[in-house]
Structure 1
Amino acid sequence: MSKKATALNTLIQFKTVLMDEKNALIKNDSAKVKALVEQKQTFLDRLPTLTTEGLKKEDLIGVVEEIKNLQQTNLVLTQQVISYQEMMMKAITTGVKKGGSTYSKQGDYSAAQQANLIDQSL
């Protein structure tokens, strides 16, 4: 296989990995995302060694633009997942810190220190 075919094929394979990563991020499949990130790392190690001699600029521009767009989409999806996880952790920890109000055995209304799973003020 020629070097130019290998370079273009490598970029197309990388694009496929990015599309799989996008789908895994949408489905919140963390195991698959982890495996795909490891695959991406092997591509990132290989990409600087590719030569584009003999390839037309037009052949590369389309694939590179798609890769760039997929990378940006995956970044936004990753940031969204992290933001959601942080919000959930904040809601859970706020609920744990704040005690609920209950009645004691004597019938008095008092604030008790108990762990609530979710912040009920939401």
Structure 2
Amino acid sequence: AMLGRRGNRNKRATVGADKGYDSKAFIKGCRRLLVTPHVAAKDKHSAVDARVTRHESYKTSLKVRKRIEEAFGWIKTVGGLAKTKLIGQAKLAGQALLCFATYNLVRMGGIGGWWDAHHA
């Protein structure tokens, strides 16, 4: 339903998803909507075929998805957002903003070589 609501439907698009979306129905629906599914393939009986996996953009999509998952994992464990103690949307939004900003600083420090980001 969300893919059907996207803007310019005459232009091809891509969508990234985890292994839970590796089903024939989802892949077929994406193709019908002119969306290339960059779904993480299951080890056995995958619906993702070589039309998708042979392209370099698919490999790049998997790398980017891993980077995003690392950020959310850090925010949940180190940032304390796995189980927040705050009540109210404004307070939770502030905590999330602070966690994401902190993660960005840690990541920039690791990329720039200013400090070892693995110990933060």
TM-score by structure 1 length? 0.30
* Larger relative contact order (CA 8 Å, sep ≥ 6): 1
Task: Specify the structure having the higher radius of gyration (Cα).
Answer: 1
Flag the structure with higher helix content: 1
TM-score by structure 2 length? 0.31
